[in-house]
Amino acid sequence: MVSLGHVSLEQINQARRSQMDDSSKRLGECLVDLGYTSDDEVNRALDIQKME
């Protein structure tokens, strides 16, 4: 997500901290909940990740 320009490294770190509070959530869900990105952007990034 960082390399695609969707979120910053600081936003990833904040989402990870949020994930510690609710370990049932995936990182992408935390990023969306925090308003840093959209579901569509997370899904696109996951599609790219699957192709690599």
Average pLDDT over residues 14-39: 94
Where residue 36 falls among pLDDT bands split at 50, 70, 90? very high
CA gap 6, 24 in Å, rounded: 23
The angle subtended at Cα 5 by Cα 37 and Cα 23, nearest 5°, is: 45
Quote the CA–CA distance of 41 and 20 in Å, as a whole number: 22
- Per-residue pLDDT band for 22 (boundaries 50, 70, 90) equals confident
For every residue of 1-52, DSSP letters joined together read -TTTTSS-HHHHHHHHHHHHH-TTS-HHHHHHHTTSS-HHHHHHHHHHHHH-
- pLDDT class for 39, splitting at 50, 70, 90? very high
Q: Which residue has the higher pLDDT, 35 or 3?
A: 35
